[in-house]
Amino acid sequence: FRKTEKRKVTFSAGGNETEIDFMLVGRKNRKYLRDVKTIPGELQHRLMVSDLDKGKVKKCMRKGTVERRMVWKLNEEETRARFEERAEELVSIDAPDLQKSFKEGVPKAFDEVCGRTKGMRD
């Protein structure tokens, strides 16, 4: 892209200036990049803007929703006590594989006592 010097400078201080080297763009959208320039505003750092062909840019697909555990319910004393009781029942200290016992028992106790969100989005 052919630009005047002031449109290429991204940082200037003490007589030193840096120009636009490259713009990070996704591989699929690289061919739609038309122009890169800086917008003067601040004295030292300048905003860098790129122009893309609007209609052709690949849109990111929204990822599916995720169920989350309702951690905030442990703030209540009654819920915390029920969780501790259930975790003691499911996690055995005398188990031959203690790590596996914790890994399976604690989340199961948490899900039974506190539950999960539905993971829905508007």
Residue pair 26/58 in contact (Cβ under 8 Å)? The answer is: yes
Q: Which residues contact 47 (CB under 8 A, 6 or more apart)?
A: 38, 39, 41
Domain residue spans in the chain?
5-53, 71-113
Exposure string over 69-84, b if 16+ CB within 10 A, otherwise e? eeeebeeeeeeeebbe
Question: Which tens digits make up the pLDDT trace of 10-39?
Answer: 777 777 777 777 778 888 778 888 877 777
44-98 per-position pLDDT tens digit: 777 777 787 766 656 667 777 778 888 889 899 999 999 999 988 888 888 888 8
User: pTM for this structure?
Assistant: 0.45
Residues 63/66/71/72 CA torsion (nearest 10 deg): 70
The pLDDT value given to residue 51: 80
Other beta carbons within 10 angstroms of residue 109's beta carbon come to 20
Q: Is the pLDDT of residue 122 over 60?
A: no
pLDDT recorded at residue 48: 78
Phi, psi of 77 (to 5 degrees): -60, -45
